[in-house]
Amino acid sequence: MIHQYFGLRLPNVKIAVTGSGRVAHGILEVMNLMGIHEVEPEDYLDRRFSYPVYTQLKGGYLYGRKDNGTYSRDEFHKLPGMYTCKFLPYAEQTDILLNGVYWEQGVPRLFSKEDIQSQSFIIQTIADITDDVNGSVPINTGDQTIEDPVYGIDRDTAAVTAPYLENSIDIMAVGNLPNELPRDASRYFGEQLIKYVMEDLLGNGSLIIQRATIAKDGNLTANYEYLRDYVEGSV
């Protein structure tokens, strides 16, 4: 997967990464591996760049109290209804949104369905990695599959369309997306097993197979005699 990153060259897009948990950290790892420059939220709002950039929006950059605009992490998690989301100004500067925000009922959404009708809302692509239907991304209408991960949302009607249309926002929302990493790892492991081990398993064995063999013909091998107490149930 990392080798794929190295071959990618993005145009001068601006990418907003939301969240601060494990999902967001995974996004940031990808951004850095791709060599995309990180900029501060203030610069992100005020400047256009001649190269692709991203900014991470979390905490006080993303939420503020309704009465005075301040942010307290503990209070926000206990009383999210007292807060409003401050994402909309970034939607006016963002080409791609990578959403890693944890969401539950009562937490302010990043924007409303009506907001996407505005000319200033320029987001073209949203990867809702946390994938909450009608959650922090209110135009997420539900899971897609690994094989068909992207659909469109019409800016005027918020209706689902085919992806990549001129008047649509493209949404990637795949609930079982993390399954792709174990599947890739399993495929790689299997390929290495076939390449380096299978011939020895089907043939006369090898020193590697001997050292890896815990039991043979109903008995522990010499390298694993230390397990004798466990086998005989005395531990």
The DSSP-derived string for 116-185 is: GGSTT----EEEESS--TTSSSTT--S---SSS-EEEEETTT--EE-SS-TTEEEEE--TTGGGHHHHHH
Q: Which two tokens stand for residue 230?
A: 């466990």
| Residue 235 reports pLDDT greater than 70 | no
**Banded pLDDT at 102 (limits 50, 70, 90):** confident
131 in the same domain as 72: yes
| Maximum separation of any 2 CA atoms in the chain, in Å | 76
Alpha helices in the chain (DSSP H): 2-6, 22-33, 41-46, 73-78, 88-91, 180-196, 198-202, 207-212, 228-231
- What pTM was estimated for this model as a whole? 0.76
Taken in order 147, 143, 30, 186, the sign of the CA dihedral is: negative
Q: Which two tokens stand for residue 147?
A: 């094989």
| Residue 68 reports pLDDT greater than 70 | yes
Give the pLDDT of residue 65.
97
**Banded pLDDT at 136 (limits 50, 70, 90):** very high
Give the Cα separation of 206 and 25 in Å (integer): 43
Domain that holds residue 7: 2-176
17 in the same domain as 111: yes
184 in the same domain as 159: no
136 in the same domain as 200: no
Q: What is the mean pLDDT of residues 44-67?
A: 95
Give the Cα separation of 222 and 121 in Å (integer): 69
At 158-203, the pLDDT tens digits run 999 999 999 999 999 998 877 777 777 788 889 998 988 888 888 7
58 in the same domain as 22: yes
The length of the chain in residues reads 235
Total structural domains in the chain? 2
* Domain boundary, last residue among 176, 196, 222: 176
Q: CA–CA distance from 90 to each of 103, 193, 198, 199, 213 (Å)?
A: 19, 48, 54, 57, 58
